[in-house]
Amino acid sequence: MIELHPNVVSLAYLIAAVLFIMALRGLSSPESSRTGNYCGMLGMLIAVTTTALGPEVESYGWIFIALGIGAVIGIAIARNIAMTAMPQLVAGFHSLVGMAAVLVAGAAFANPGAFGLVAPGGEIYVASRVEMALGAAIGAITFSGSVIAFTKLQGLVSGAPVSFKGQHPLNALIGLAIVGLIVYFCFDQQPAVFWTMTALAFVIGVLIIIPIGGADMPVVVSMLNSYSGWAAAGIGFTLGNDALIITGALVGSSGAILSYIMCKGMNRSFFNVILGGFGGDSSAATATGADDRPVKQGSAEDAAFIMKNAGSVIIVPGYGMAVAQAQHALRELTDELKDEGVKVSFAIHPVAGRMPGHMNVLLAEANVPYDEVFELEDINNEFQTTDVVLVIGANDVTNPSAKTDPTSPIYGMPILDVEKARTVLFIKRGMASGYAGVQNELFYRDNTMMLFGDAKKMVESIIRNL
């Protein structure tokens, strides 16, 4: 068997770590995201190959079998997954990282000698107990929480918050019990202590996610991303693998920063999201969302005439565009408008869709030029001088109630100021509320025209009329 020198292993892990940092840097912008992905893939290839050639590996049989199974599953998922299902796919991947942490910690506890964790007295090193306890606890929370997030995003269960009397005290009690058991485990390595702590971590993972509604799901996805990173770092300490420690720390810290950005985008604190999640599923909103106030309804022909005679148009995509897969038709629409001499821009809210960057990825898939896509803080002042805003399924992030109604659950959330435009064209299937379960006051404004129907079909109809 090939065995690398320790210095070569350290150098390879260092190169992999640099590539992972470059990957994160590349993924910070749509323009460099492809390069970032390539850097991440190359870094992972180097890390995996280096680990496989390490002195700890005694046989490659099971390793190749596992790699083969994983490759087949990964390729199948990558080829068939729809962009609208990316949030639940990410949640599913997070659950796998969490369970891997639990299994590695469990294996290390069951056979510490194989991991070199046994002290001269025959007991597991105290530092190793801390590492495996934290890895198992964080991994268990990540696994069960990600499973719940997946079922909500996939629609297998209601996206509405689930709460009950005494929920917060129960969560606090279980959390304190987990911390207490981790401390006790440092002094007494009885199996009952370790596995009770792990079981409670699985339970708390469920309890902290079920009260979170659909509108907070972008924060949950990024939060679980952070958890999975720290779980991976815990595995790295248990295995003594520098690459895993560095990678886990990068993912954990970047996920935490992303969670902060998402919370800032909704003007909500992280603890406010965890302790008081809001928002229901769309089906629930459909039943209670609309009222009897009249709205101005238009047709694709009306929309085409208005936009053709406009000087500037800002397009605001949301989850409705993702569901209808309308991004390619939207790109064709922008080309038609540009041919008519119309200036076209895209406005993206930081929590549009069901995960961070969802809209940016869809627009990049349709080859929308990067310099035409703007974030909220860069374009919000432009709406008041814009002739037409075309909103496609972006509900909560355009709701003026966030600024005017103190009783609204989205009050204080920064929104795109689309209501300031001369004309707002709003493509939507019906009058249902957004994912937060709040009716959009924009529907009833005098300068808003509702275009009811499937987003893709409506855009295609507008193109034909142009």
* The pair of three-digit structure tokens given for residue 433, joined into one six-digit string: 């509320």
Q: Which helix (H) or strand (E) holds 317?
A: strand 312-317
What is the sign, positive or negative, of the torsion defined by CA atoms of 351, 357, 362, 366?
positive
Output phi, psi for 122, to 5 deg. Answer: 95, -10
Residues 6+ apart with CB under 8 A from 376: 265, 347, 348, 349, 350, 414, 416
- Diameter over CA atoms, the chain: 84
Question: Quick one: angle between helices 167-185 and 126-154, nearest 10?
Answer: 150
User: Are the beta carbons of 255 and 227 closer than 8 angstroms?
Assistant: yes
Rounded Cα distance between 316 and 363, Å, is 11
Cross-strand partners of 279: none
Our answer to whether residue 281 is catalytic in this structure is no
Rounded Cα distance between 216 and 87, Å, is 13
Task: Report the 10 Å Cβ neighbour count for 359.
Answer: 27
User: How many residues would you count in the chain?
Assistant: 466
Considering the candidates 339, 396, 417, 446, report the single residue annotated as catalytic. 396
Find the DSSP H helices in 309-400: 319-324, 327-339, 358-365, 376-379
* The pair of three-digit structure tokens given for residue 338, joined into one six-digit string: 């540009």
Indicate which residues carry an active-site annotation.
Answer: 396
